[in-house]
């Protein structure tokens, strides 16, 4: 099956200027050619999809999310301790919302009961709609750590064992919780940390020996520094990183995956846990500091990518927010497409519209380089060349 998608402009995700009157030629599930409409041959019998005045761009890559969590429901640890069937059904609904918002690839950053293994399989088999998933399976966290629901990993031996179990079940990456978090009542604050340097080294060694990356939940302070020096692959959140942390991340090529809707959007932690004054105080502080922290990231030259952290359907909001804080609109779109694909090790398959890559593409109304809010007005969604925008709305 050959398809030609045409549109007023195409942002191809390589970083070059948009292609005016652009076209994308798709052969089966892969992109065959991208260019100006006049330059792209239309083979006999090809399906034509004209997006008119809209803008075509790569499908979003959500570099950090969760399948079963909904922050607005509150008590995220408790959500992961609910009966497994309930979690699975909630996850299926969330993943559909993600796909319909233009997210065609997503990294799932920790689920209990290995439900992400089954979700990845069901999506790949076409049984349920959702983004293509990369999965962390069970998070690695200490008994007294943030993100702890059912699985705890204390000491070097248990960390090794649980990582090996995760890998045996098919984990694509290892997720480790190091510091506290905004939504947590455990620990003494977001900079408090759980693991010793040796424990982090063991986790990195175990994952890297199997060629799997380590993504660490860390806001800042000595806990983040320990992880940076242990050679983790991505720092997630990073809201309290100092200039020398950012310098060291840049030197080592460690990515920052940042997300802001979960703390900044009224439907996030505020809706779910805003009744707890301790959490609300952390949220207020996080919101106050977020723009300046992000500016420091931009100034540092650290490579960064965006994720929604389970704020399903709000990738556009993540992009619009960092544009409001000084990122160029084009860079913010790259952080949700090609850079995110690079951060999660998927850049050979997705993240840009280039020959040979999977045909994951979306169209949006208007020009997102002028108005990032237009990214919420999704038209076409193609995933591996297949239409997903025609999915019925629940
Ligand atoms: Zn998360």
pLDDT at 184 over 70: no
Instruction: Give the residue from 225, 195, 197, 181 showing the smallest Cα distance to 71.
Output: 181
Cα 34 to ligand 1 centre (Å): 35
Cα 236 to ligand 1 centre (Å): 8
Q: Which residues pair with 382 in a beta bridge?
A: 361, 387
Instruction: Give the residue from 383, 296, 291, 327 showing the smallest Cα distance to 105.
Output: 383
Cα 304 to ligand 1 centre (Å): 16
pLDDT-based confidence at residue 293 (cuts at 50, 70, 90)? very high
Structure tokens at 24: 């994308």
Cα 178 to ligand 1 centre (Å): 12
pLDDT at 263 over 60: yes
Comparison of pLDDT for 24 and 189, the residue scoring more? 24
Mean pLDDT of the chain: 95
Specify the range with the lowest mean pLDDT, choosing from 47-56, 88-97, 141-150, 262-271. Answer: 141-150
Burial class (CB in 10 A: 0-12, 13-18, 19+), 276: middle
At 36-78, the pLDDT tens digits run 999 999 999 999 999 999 999 999 999 999 999 999 999 998 9
Distant-in-sequence, close-in-space partners of 163: CB < 8 Å, separation ≥ 6: 140, 174, 203, 206, 207
- 169 CB neighbour count, 10 Å cutoff: 13
Burial class (CB in 10 A: 0-12, 13-18, 19+), 83: exposed
In this structure, the strands spanning 378-383 and 386-387 are: antiparallel
pLDDT-based confidence at residue 261 (cuts at 50, 70, 90)? very high
Q: Cα dihedral sign for 229, 235, 238, 243?
A: positive
pLDDT at 393 over 60: no
Cα 16 to ligand 1 centre (Å): 31
Cα 125 to ligand 1 centre (Å): 26
Inter-CA distances, 380 with 1, 4, 52, 369, Å: 18, 13, 11, 18
Res 188: pLDDT:
62
At 158-183, the pLDDT tens digits run 999 999 999 999 999 999 999 988 77
Cα 106 to ligand 1 centre (Å): 12
Res 187: pLDDT:
56
Cα 177 to ligand 1 centre (Å): 9
The H-or-E segment that residue 381 falls in is strand 378-383
What percentage of residues in the chain have a pLDDT greater than 90? 90
pLDDT at 86 over 60: yes
Cα 309 to ligand 1 centre (Å): 5
pLDDT at 213 over 60: yes
Helices (H), 135-276: 155-169, 197-209, 221-230, 243-252, 261-264, 269-273
- Alpha-carbon gap, residue 175 to 63, rounded angstroms: 12
At 296-317, the pLDDT tens digits run 999 999 999 999 999 999 999 9
CA 100 to chain centre: 15
- Mean pLDDT in residue range 141-165: 94
- Mean pLDDT in residue range 347-364: 98
């Amino acid at each position: 099956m050959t398809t030609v998608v045409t549109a007023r402009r195409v942002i191809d995700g390589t970083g070059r200027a948009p292609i005016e009157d652009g076209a994308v030629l798709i052969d089966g599930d892969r992109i065959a050619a991208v260019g100006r409409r006049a330059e792209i041959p239309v083979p006999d019998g090809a399906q034509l999809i004209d997006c008119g005045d809209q803008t075509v761009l790569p499908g979003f890559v959500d570099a950090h999310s969760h399948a079963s969590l909904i922050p607005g429901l509150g008590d995220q640890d408790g959500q992961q301790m609910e009966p497994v069937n309930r979690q699975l059904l909630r996850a299926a609904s969330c993943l559909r919302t993600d796909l319909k918002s233009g997210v065609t690839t997503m990294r799932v950053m920790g689920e209990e009961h290995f439900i992400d293994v089954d979700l990845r399989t069901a999506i790949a088999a076409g049984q349920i709609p959702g983004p293509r998933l990369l999965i962390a399976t069970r998070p690695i966290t200490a008994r007294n750590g943030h993100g702890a629901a059912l699985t705890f990993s204390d000491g070097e031996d248990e960390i090794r064992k649980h990582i090996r179990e995760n890998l045996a079940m098919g984990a694509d990456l290892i997720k480790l919780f190091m510091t506290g978090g905004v939504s947590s009542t455990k620990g003494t604050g977001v900079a408090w940390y759980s693991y010793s340097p040796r424990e982090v080294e063991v986790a990195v060694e175990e994952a890297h020996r199997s060629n799997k990356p380590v993504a660490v939940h860390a806001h800042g302070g000595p806990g983040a520094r320990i992880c940076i020096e242990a050679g983790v692959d991505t720092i997630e959140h990073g809201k309290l990183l100092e200039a020398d942390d950012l310098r060291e991340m840049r030197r080592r090529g460690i990515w920052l995956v940042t997300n802001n809707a979960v703390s900044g959007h009224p439907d996030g932690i505020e809706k779910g846990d805003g009744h707890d004054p301790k959490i609300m105080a952390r949220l207020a502080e996080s919101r106050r500091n977020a723009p300046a922290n992000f500016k420091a990231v931009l100034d540092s030259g650290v490579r960064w990518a965006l994720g929604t952290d389970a704020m399903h359907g709000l990738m556009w909001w993540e992009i619009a927010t960092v544009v409001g804080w000084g990122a160029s609109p084009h860079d913010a779109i790259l952080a949700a497409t090609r850079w995110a694909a690079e951060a999660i090790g998927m850049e050979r398959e997705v993240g840009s519209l280039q020959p040979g890559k999977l045909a994951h593409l979306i169209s949006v109304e208007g020009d997102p380089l002028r108005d990032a809010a237009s990214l919420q007005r999704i038209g076409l969604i193609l995933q591996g060349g297949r239409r997903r925008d025609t999915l019925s709305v629940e």
